Amino acid sequence: MGRVTIHATDPFATPDDARSTIRQLRGRLPAAVTIWTAYGRDNRPAGLTVSSTVVAEGEPGHVIGVLDEESELYEALQSSGRFAVQLLRDGDGQLSDRFAGLLPAPGGLFADDAWDQTEFGPVRRGLGTWAGCALTDARPIGWGVLVEARVVRVELGDDAVPPLVRYRGRYVRADLTSG
Contact at 8 Å (CB) between 24 and 16?
A: yes
CATH superfamily for 22-167 is Electron Transport, Fmn-binding Protein; Chain A (2.30.110.10)
Helix (H/G/I), strand (E/B), else coil: 105: coil
Between residues 157 and 11, which one has the greater pLDDT? 157
Dihedral (Cα; 67, 71, 72, 73), 10-degree rounding? -10
pLDDT of residue 8: 63
Domain segments of the chain as ranges: 22-167
What is the spatial distance between Cα 146 and Cα 64, in angstroms, rounded to a whole number? 7
Q: What is the pLDDT, as a whole number, of residue 15?
A: 75
pLDDT score of 12:
66
Residue 148: closest CA among 80, 72, 53: 53
State yes or no: cis peptide before 104, omega within 30 of 0: no
Neighbours of 96 (CB within 10 A): 20
Mean pLDDT of 128-154: 96
Mean pLDDT across the stretch 14-37? 83
Q: What tens digit of pLDDT does each residue of 87-140 get?
A: 999 999 999 999 999 999 888 999 987 999 999 999 999 888 999 999 999 999
Listed residue (124, 99, 129) closest to 114, CA to CA:
124
